[in-house]
Amino acid sequence: MTDDQEAKEQNSSHPTSIITNSQATITPKPMNFLWWIRVALYSLFVLSGQSVGTLLGRLYYTKGGSSKWLAAFAQLAGFPILLLLYFIPTPKQPSDPNNPQIQIDAQAQSQSQSTPLKSLALAYISLGTLVALNGYLYSVGLLYLPVSTFSLICSSQLAFNALFAFFLNAQKFTPYITNSLVLLTISSALLVFQSDSEDHKGVSAGKYALGFVCTIGASAGYGLVLSLTQLCFSRVIRKVTLRAVLNMIVYPSLLASAIIVAGLLGSGEWEHLGREMDEYELGKVRYVMNLVGTAISWQVFTIGTIGLILDASSLFSNSISVVGLPIVPIFAVVFFGDSMDGVKVMAMILAVWGFVSYVYQYYLDDAKLKAQRTSVGGDETSVGSALNASIARVGE
């Protein structure tokens, strides 16, 4: 009974690795030096990919682009680059018959090899459809909103992800996480009352409202995608390998790209792409470079996002993207002449405050987990048993 109580007290935001025995479980990973290096690298991918991709997407519209479906396709079209990663050799699991943790991992690997094809297909189709919808909604939002306003509204995705993670990933709401979500929600809500006429230049009030609603909808969808991705790894795939991660990116991206292309052809926007390229203010070469750069940037972002989901959690992955909020609006002011009035500044401060609040909770969780491991003692078997007993079992 004591072990069960300890399991329920564990916060599911701890870094996790997927282990399968008689019942799927998630075991905390030790946050060692290499873990922090990986998280730092993935965070850099998220921040740089998101910032560059968003700015290039806005540049496309600013200099004469108008196809929402093409802009959405540019967010996904770079996924074939990831096919090269399939050729990277993966290190084999070290074998130590005296290590109970490795025995469990070996059992998990053998059991997880028989993942039902139907379940995998359903997961890929669901995620691919959501990714396509989110891509189009983001394109509409970026078309009708200034990039600074757009990026600040996107901070609401953390609140949506936390809500979905609560129901799907057993994420618990601590006071600091609750404070973070409240601040991020208020940050986005402030922009509803944005009255600066500079933010509406060339855009009617109706289109501005449409852009706002589409961005909120895309943020909600993105939060759902992150939680569903983590759920797929814990319930369906039940293993964390390079190939499994790549499959989770490539197959949904392939389906999403096909849906976007169908939308591009069905909408008739493809008929105007030739004229759009000819009339692009920066020229044909830079028109193509803009789209290619956008595609590569969002793939860098995707790699970072999936990496953080696997080494941390979907909520932590989403919170890292929120820290890019001060980056995009500042560059938007410099390159696009966006206004930065008091409302936007307040929204930015609240968003950053919310992010810091969540990261502090993550730091507390890390310190608590280290203290629990230290108090267990030096016996490796006892340590392994205590860690496995203290996990939050999926489905409980």
Spatial contact of 328 and 148, defined as CB atoms under 8 Å apart: yes
Beta-strand runs (E) in the chain? 16-20, 24-28
Residues 215-248 as b/e (b if ≥16 CB within 10 A, e otherwise) read: bbbbbbbbbbbbbbbbbbbbebbbbbeeebbbbb
Higher pLDDT, 130 or 378: 130
CA angle 217, 333, 41 (to 5 degrees): 65
Q: What is the mean pLDDT of residues 3-21?
A: 37
Calculate the average pLDDT of the chain: 76
Q: Which two tokens stand for residue 212?
A: 């706002």
CA gap 390, 388 in Å, rounded: 5
Spatial contact of 218 and 297, defined as CB atoms under 8 Å apart: no
Looking at residue 190, its pLDDT comes to 77
Q: Do strands 16-20 and 24-28 pair parallel, antiparallel, or not at all (unpaired)?
A: antiparallel
pLDDT category of residue 23 using cuts at 50, 70 and 90? very low
Residue 206: CB partners within 8 Å, gap ≥ 6?
none
CA angle 85, 52, 323 (to 5 degrees): 95
386 class by beta-carbon count within 10 Å (0-12 exposed, 13-18 middle, 19+ buried):
middle
Return the amino acid letter for 338. Answer: D
CA gap 59, 92 in Å, rounded: 45
* Residue 296 pLDDT greater than 50, yes or no: yes
CA gap 211, 140 in Å, rounded: 6
Q: Which of 355, 20, 364, 383 is nearest to 155 (CA)?
A: 355
CA gap 155, 188 in Å, rounded: 7
Which of 168-177, 226-235, 364-373 is the least confident region? 364-373
Q: Which two tokens stand for residue 8?
A: 């329920």
Q: Which of 152, 124, 85 is nearest to 307 (CA)?
A: 85
CA gap 204, 223 in Å, rounded: 29
Higher pLDDT, 99 or 180: 180
Global pTM? 0.74
User: Chain-centre distance of CA 356, in angstroms?
Assistant: 18
Higher pLDDT, 295 or 366: 295
87-105 confidence digits (pLDDT tens): 877 655 444 444 444 344 4
Looking at residue 102, its pLDDT comes to 38
* Residue 218 pLDDT greater than 80, yes or no: yes
